Structure 1
């Protein structure tokens, strides 16, 4: 696991919390910010997943 995967997942979770909090207090702005943060997190995690896949492929090629 690399830092992009970890940071991405953390952003995704924080965004989910922010979205749900926005729902509870009736703030569409907070809901939107939470959804945006979730998207950022998913994208960052995807970048980390891609980096990890390339690293694994290189490692397998060097065996």
Structure 2
């Protein structure tokens, strides 16, 4: 997994956490859901990259 991929995934996860937190503070259910979705996408991308790395070894 490249450093750039890790950074992008980490940034996406942090953005998702921020959206979720703002959604919690403002009681915006849509923003909360969007934040959770962004976090899930980042987690799935990380898992895919880890699988790729496993096959490279």
> Do these two structures clear the TM 0.5 threshold for a shared fold by scoring above it?
yes
For residues 21-40 of structure 1, the aligned pairs below 5 Å read 21-40=22-41
Which blocks of at least 5 consecutive residues in structure 1 are unaligned?
A: 58-63
Q: Matched residues in 2 for 1:52 and 1:6: separation?
A: 16
> Given the alignment of the two structures, is residue 41 of structure 1 paired with residue 42 of structure 2, yes or no?
yes
Quote the offset at 1:48 in angstroms: 1.3
The TM-score with structure 2 as length reference comes to 0.80
Instruction: Give the structure-1-normalised TM-score.
Output: 0.74
Q: Deviations over 1:13-53 (max 9, x none)?
A: 11011101110111111000000001001001111111222
Larger gyration radius, structure 1 or structure 2: 1
For 2:13 and 2:21, locate their aligned partners in 1 and report how far apart those are by CA, in whole Å: 12
Residues paired across the two proteins, number: 56
Say what the alpha-carbon RMSD is for the aligned residues. Answer: 1.5
